[in-house]
Amino acid sequence: MRITLCQGATRSPNRVAGCAAVGLSASLHGVPLVVVAHGVRWRLESKLPGVSRALQVLQAAAPERPVVFADGTDTVFVRSARSDVDGALLQQVSRSSGRVVFSAECGSWPRCYRANYTGHALHHACLAKGHRTCFPNSGAYIGSSSALLRLLPELVRAQAPGFGNKAEEGDDQAAVHFALLGTVARGMDLAMDEESDLFLNMNACKGSGRLKKYHGLTERCHFGPYEPMKTLTRSYGAPGQLTIGQRVSGKTHSPLLVHANGNHDRLDRTFFGRPGAGGELRLSREAARNLTALWRGALLPQPNAQLLHPVLLIDSARGGPCRIATLDELLRS
């Protein structure tokens, strides 16, 4: 059994979207889903402590299961774990108290960490293979519950005030960089899914990759142009039979989930092949309802049954510390 953690807390006015996309897709593929802090107004620095709390509940109830963490409003499952590679990885992470695999992306954020990765074995092996996606991303990762319980306190420590600079304070993306670089979480077996076998990040990189500064604090750099939309494959069958894949080096593979990196327009284009109604950064209430309706009508073969998919709510606004709900209840709240 693989359990998926979804960070479901959202900032108004995007609350309607919640975990709609990831919840509907988890139901479609039969993935056990745990939603953390649904409907709670939150700050970025609250994310990792909330996930830590959920992991403690999971470890007590179902110890040593493979757990996938996924951001809530911009992540969608595109298949269930079914291949021999998936099975081997799930066995590997479920048996290890230190193995965590992060999703990978092309750009370095919230600072340009290129110099920090000088001499870093995983990073340079990724570049040597010709990949552009050689930086970790905090929007999706997988490990056993015990491994993640070891990692999360280290990530919380790394985003504390004074650990990094002002741009890194409270940022889980910076904390993941610190972990992979060995500043925290030493002694753990950390890796990146640079070939996007499990996690496909939709963030693009444009231009030469030279350092860019934003508002005098945050930075971004990369190693050259990368556009995942150009390698995306989309195959429609009967309702509920949409297959998303990525074609690289003449071969097509289908990731476990797609993460839009906060750009909900890209999530809509990935599945429906057109710009989304919600603009570049977030869905409006109307667009969130439309996306939910599209998912219900187009991607759920048995909507009535699949909307009864159970969801474990932890520290939700209305459900208290821990209770079981249905997906339909989640989407209506």
Residue/partner pairs of 324-331 with CB below 8 Å, 24 or more apart? 327/23, 327/24, 327/27, 327/33, 330/18, 330/19, 330/23, 330/35, 330/38, 331/18, 331/20, 331/23, 331/24, 331/292, 331/307
How far apart CA 267 and CA 17 sit, in angstroms, is 12
> For position 300, what pLDDT does the model report?
60
- Adjacent-strand bridge partners of 6: 35, 70
Strands 242-248 and 232-236: antiparallel
> For position 261, what pLDDT does the model report?
85
How far apart CA 58 and CA 216 sit, in angstroms, is 41
How far apart CA 205 and CA 149 sit, in angstroms, is 32
| pLDDT top residue among 291 and 230 | 230
pLDDT over 70 for what percent of the chain?
80
Lowest-confidence region among 152-156, 249-253, 259-263, 278-282: 278-282
pLDDT tens digit string along 185-220?
999 999 999 989 889 999 999 999 999 998 878 999
Query: Helix (H, G, I), strand (E, B), or coil: what is residue 75?
Result: strand
| pLDDT top residue among 26 and 125 | 125
> For position 331, what pLDDT does the model report?
74
Report whether 6 contacts 51 (CB < 8 A): no
pLDDT tens digit string along 71-107?
877 888 888 776 666 777 777 777 788 999 999 999 9
Alpha-carbon torsion, ordered 318, 148, 143, 102, to 10 deg: 90
Chain mean pLDDT for the chain: 81
Please give the model's pTM, rounded to 2 decimal places: 0.86
Q: What's the pLDDT band for 238 if we cut at 50, 70, 90? A: low
Domain count, the chain: 1
> For position 162, what pLDDT does the model report?
93
- Adjacent-strand bridge partners of 77: 257
Q: What's the pLDDT band for 301 if we cut at 50, 70, 90? A: low
How far apart CA 138 and CA 131 sit, in angstroms, is 19
Q: Is the peptide bond before 301 cis (omega within 30 degrees of 0)?
A: no
The three-point CA angle 100-104-107 to 5° equals: 140
What domain range is 29 assigned to?
3-332
